[in-house]
Amino acid sequence: MIGVLCIQTKPVIGDKKANINIIEQFIKENCRKTIDLVVMPEFFSTGIDHKIFVNEPEDKNGGDTILKMQEIAKKYNTNIIAGSVIEAQNDKLYNTAFIINRQGKIIAKYRKIHLFNYLGGTEGERITPGDEFVTVDFDFGRAGIGICYDIRYPLHYKKLAQMETEIIVLPTAWVISAESYKNSFKKEQEIWTALNRIRAYDNMVYTVSCNQTGLINDKIGAIGTSIICSPAGEIISKADNEQCVLYAELDLNIVKDLKSVYPIAMID
């Protein structure tokens, strides 16, 4: 069994110190549990604002934000998937998740492939898409990594499943319009929940999606609803729209057993 801590936050726009302190406080409050992996949202250190793409990028090693995450991983003896930060390299910006082991070492990074350029989204105007599917061999098993809008692409998840992952992790800042936030919030939560359950069920993997929450401004809000699903598509743990943590113990042997008798992910 592995212990997974999913931290759902409402970041303070542009206040990296405050946002990182929130993350560490939640880890500290739960450190008596077995924590093998900590997951946090997309843009966990800055929140979502168009200015962060211009004024808040980190260097190719993740800058001070990821350096602090490395310290936290080592301090609490846990692996971390550090949501995402804007990574600057060679005059390009990437939306990047840094993966850190218990020793505080960066062991991988994933650059978001499917950027949100629809319904008013302009991520692709500033961000360069990644071009590599990424899996990580932790000391407990193999995880695949996506970021936010990647979940809308079933073949992205299938590719990760074919790379023999047992768990697929998705830091996200899943937002809707302020109007939808007011008038159809529950429907948006139901759609998001269904996406996660189906991705888990189709690929027979655990899925962990960690979202931001709360109204961001008068135009958009994040729906929360961070969720952990079983390989059978069952909801193991799910948040509403408050700032909180989810904790679950996952048996990765279940994934191995299912895939041995029903190798659906390997069938095109």
Quickly state the pLDDT bin for 56 (edges 50, 70, 90). low
Could you tell me what percent of the chain has a pLDDT over 70? 95
Instruction: Identify the CA nearest to 226 among candidates 218, 216, 236, 217.
Output: 236
pLDDT greater than 80 at residue 159: yes
Instruction: Identify the CA nearest to 207 among candidates 23, 43, 81.
Output: 81
Q: What's the pLDDT score for residue 50?
A: 59
Q: Are 43 and 174 in contact (CB under 8 A)?
A: no
pLDDT in tens, 61-98: 888 999 999 999 999 999 999 999 999 888 899 999 99
Q: What's the pLDDT score for residue 52?
A: 53
pLDDT in tens, 142-153: 999 999 999 999
pTM of the model: 0.93
Q: What's the pLDDT score for residue 170?
A: 98
Domains and CATH numbers, the chain: 2-261 (3.60.110.10)
The per-residue DSSP string of 194-262 comes to HHHHHHHHHHTSEEEEEEBEEE-SSSEEEE---EEE-TTS-EEEE--SSSEEEEEEE-THHHHHHHHH-
Residue with tokens 């690929």, as numbered in its chain: 203
pLDDT greater than 70 at residue 227: yes
Quickly state the pLDDT bin for 241 (edges 50, 70, 90). very high
**Distance from C-alpha of 61 to C-alpha of 77, rounded to nearest angstrom:** 21
pLDDT greater than 70 at residue 19: yes
Is the pLDDT higher at 191 or at 266?
A: 191
pLDDT greater than 80 at residue 119: no
pLDDT greater than 60 at residue 209: yes
